[in-house]
């Protein structure tokens, strides 16, 4: 049998003529047709079959790379990490009850199935509607799906590595949130930074649920680039920012950004950062600013988690237990002339910092054994102009 360009050999168990199992997601070709024959074959060799692991038994839901669920008493390997992700895949049209493998279609360079373009509403695989009077093809299969996409604020995905896109409107123009597939070039990088920079506890207690890339309104982006240019050759850093969210954006995969001006997270996506909202909606840390009235970021995702709140409690990717789900921003920050310190400066203002010759301040953790009497447990960076930072990614994660 040929799978794409892969010619599959027969199962290694003597007497079995079935093709070996090929995982199209990871590109791994196994030695046996399935786990039953693998167990038999390895037992004959005096070896033991490993339990499923993340290298070749990942959840089949797009965007999830958790290990699939495994019933040790029966030896049953599931296709998803939990029932919730199985149901979500069915709802999204990524899986059907009668399939043992995800439906896979050959695609053109534009990302449409060969020969026919499909409806761009997330989860629909029907043919797009073609006007018989002029042969014009539309993005959706029907008016109802076009209306549903408009109701959700959903756009046709920009490319095959984006699962879906939501568009929002602000006084500054259009912006969008693009749900990344794990094949997107930025997905692994953002996820790695989030997990490795957690630092506050065992990172295994945190799971990334999904990642959105944020396209800022043009004036917000232009203002940031002007700020970067004004601050010279100083590097732009990528930092985490935690804040409140009052809607279900991100946590609900069908929910786009809201239009509520009081929702801090959506307001940042919609209009960028503003000094007008300093010290508002800052979770458990409200009312105390270590370096005065500024915009606070951290290279430590666990630190920024202190400033987020649970936006939903729902089954997590590890199983059916209900766990808190939260959202955090990963931002680009132009630090410019940066001052470093190990202690608090609560009376600091933008003007007093400028008088010292700096644009921003970074609180650092005193090295152990250095003899420095520091006050920080985790590092943070502060800027004092809204244009000095823009949100780049929205990370939805669960806590255990």
Indicate whether 192 belongs to any domain: yes
Q: Where does a domain end: 47, 71, 92?
A: 92
**β-pairing verdict for 154-155 and 162-170:** antiparallel
Report residue 213 as tokens: 């890339």
Residue 132 and residue 23 share a domain? no
Mean pLDDT of 167-194: 91
Residue 70 and residue 215 share a domain? no
Mean pLDDT of 339-356: 94
The pLDDT of residue 339: 95
Residue 89's SS3 state is helix
Residue 269 and residue 164 share a domain? yes
Q: What is the pLDDT of residues 35-72, one digit of tens each?
A: 788 878 777 777 767 666 655 677 888 878 788 887 76
End-to-end CA distance of the chain: 43
The pLDDT of residue 51: 66
Q: Where does a domain end: 134, 152, 170?
A: 152
Instruction: Using the predicted structure, report yes or no on whether residue 120 has a pLDDT greater than 90.
Output: no
The pLDDT of residue 284: 42
Those residues whose C-beta lies under 8 Å from the C-beta of residue 127, and which sit 6 or more positions away, are: 116, 117, 118, 119, 141
Indicate whether 76 belongs to any domain: yes
Residue 178 and residue 148 share a domain? no
Q: How confident is the model at residue 197 (pLDDT cuts 50, 70, 90)?
A: very high
Residue 165 and residue 146 share a domain? no
Indicate whether 61 belongs to any domain: yes
Q: What is the CATH number of the domain that holds 371?
A: 3.90.228.10
Indicate whether 97 belongs to any domain: no
Above pLDDT 90, what percent of the chain? Answer: 38
Mean pLDDT of 174-198: 93
Residue 109 and residue 74 share a domain? no
Q: Where does a domain end: 43, 58, 92?
A: 92
User: Which of 103-117, 168-182, 183-197, 344-358 bottoms out in mean pLDDT, i.e. has the lowest?
Assistant: 103-117
Sign of CA dihedral 264, 268, 269, 271: positive
Neighbours of 138 (CB within 10 A): 16
User: Which of 15-19, 50-54, 243-247, 329-333 bottoms out in mean pLDDT, i.e. has the lowest?
Assistant: 50-54
Q: What is the span of the domain harbouring residue 137?
A: 105-152
Residue 208 and residue 238 share a domain? yes
Q: What is the number of structural domains in the chain?
A: 3
Q: Could you give the CA distance from residue 63 to residue 208 in angstroms, rounded to a whole number?
A: 9
Q: Could you give the CA distance from residue 229 to residue 222 in angstroms, rounded to a whole number?
A: 11
Indicate whether 221 belongs to any domain: yes
Nearest to 366, CA basis, from 334, 389, 343, 398: 343
The pLDDT of residue 108: 45
Indicate whether 359 belongs to any domain: yes
Instruction: Using the predicted structure, report yes or no on whether residue 130 has a pLDDT greater than 80.
Output: yes
Those residues whose C-beta lies under 8 Å from the C-beta of residue 342, and which sit 6 or more positions away, are: 363, 364, 365, 366, 372, 373, 374, 375, 376
The pLDDT of residue 285: 46
Indicate whether 12 belongs to any domain: yes
Residue 143 and residue 195 share a domain? no
User: Which of 47-51, 116-120, 330-334 bottoms out in mean pLDDT, i.e. has the lowest?
Assistant: 47-51
Q: How confident is the model at residue 74 (pLDDT cuts 50, 70, 90)?
A: low
Burial of 175 by CB count in 10 Å (0-12 exposed, 13-18 middle, 19+ buried)? buried
Indicate whether 98 belongs to any domain: no
Residue 147 and residue 162 share a domain? no
Q: What is the pLDDT of residues 261-319, one digit of tens each?
A: 889 999 999 999 999 878 664 444 445 789 999 999 999 999 999 999 888 887 765 55
Mean pLDDT of 10-23: 79
Residue 81 and residue 114 share a domain? no
Residue 275 and residue 189 share a domain? yes
Instruction: Using the predicted structure, report yes or no on whether residue 195 has a pLDDT greater than 50.
Output: yes
Residue 359 and residue 245 share a domain? yes
The pTM assigned to this predicted structure is 0.67
């Amino acid at each position: 049998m040929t799978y794409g360009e892969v010619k599959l050999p027969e199962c290694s168990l003597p007497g079995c003529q079935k093709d070996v199992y090929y995982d199209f997601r990871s590109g791994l070709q196994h030695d046996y047709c399935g786990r039953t024959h693998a167990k038999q074959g390895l037992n004959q060799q005096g070896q033991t079959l490993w339990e499923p692991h993340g290298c070749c038994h990942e959840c089949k839901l797009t965007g999830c790379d958790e290990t699939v669920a495994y019933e040790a008493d029966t030896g049953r390997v599931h296709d998803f990490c939990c029932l919730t992700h199985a149901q979500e895949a069915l709802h999204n049209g990524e899986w059907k009850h009668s399939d043992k493998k995800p439906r896979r279609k050959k695609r053109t360079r534009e990302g449409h199935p060969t020969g026919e373009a499909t409806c761009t509403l997330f989860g629909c695989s029907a043919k797009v509607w073609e006007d018989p009077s002029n042969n014009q093809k539309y993005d959706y299969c029907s008016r109802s799906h076009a209306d549903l996409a408009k109701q959700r604020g959903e756009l046709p995905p920009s490319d095959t590595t984006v699962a879906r896109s939501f568009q929002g409107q602000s006084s500054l123009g259009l912006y969008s949130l693009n749900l990344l597939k794990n094949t997107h070039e930025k997905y692994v990088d953002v996820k790695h930074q989030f997990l490795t920079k957690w630092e506050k506890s065992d990172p295994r207690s945190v799971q990334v649920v999904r990642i959105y890339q944020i396209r800022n309104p043009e004036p917000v982006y232009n203002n940031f680039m002007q700020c970067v240019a004004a601050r010279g050759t100083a590097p732009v850093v990528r930092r985490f920012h935690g804040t409140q969210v009052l809607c279900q954006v991100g946590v609900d995969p069908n929910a786009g950004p809201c239009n509520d001006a009081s929702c801090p997270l959506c307001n940042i996506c919609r209009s960028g950062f503003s000094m007008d909202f300093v010290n508002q909606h800052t979770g458990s840390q409200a009312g105390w600013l270590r370096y005065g009235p500024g915009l606070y970021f951290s290279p430590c995702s666990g630190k920024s988690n202190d400033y987020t709140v649970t936006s939903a409690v729902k089954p997590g990717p590890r199983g059916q237990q209900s766990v808190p789900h939260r959202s955090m921003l990963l931002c680009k920050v132009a630090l410019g002339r940066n001052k470093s310190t190990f202690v608090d400066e609560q009376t600091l203002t933008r003007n007093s910092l400028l008088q010292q010759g700096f644009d921003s301040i970074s609180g650092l953790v005193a090295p152990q054994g250095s003899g420095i009497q520091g006050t920080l447990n985790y590092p943070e960076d502060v800027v004092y102009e809204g244009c000095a930072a823009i949100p780049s990614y929205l990370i939805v994660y669960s806590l255990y």
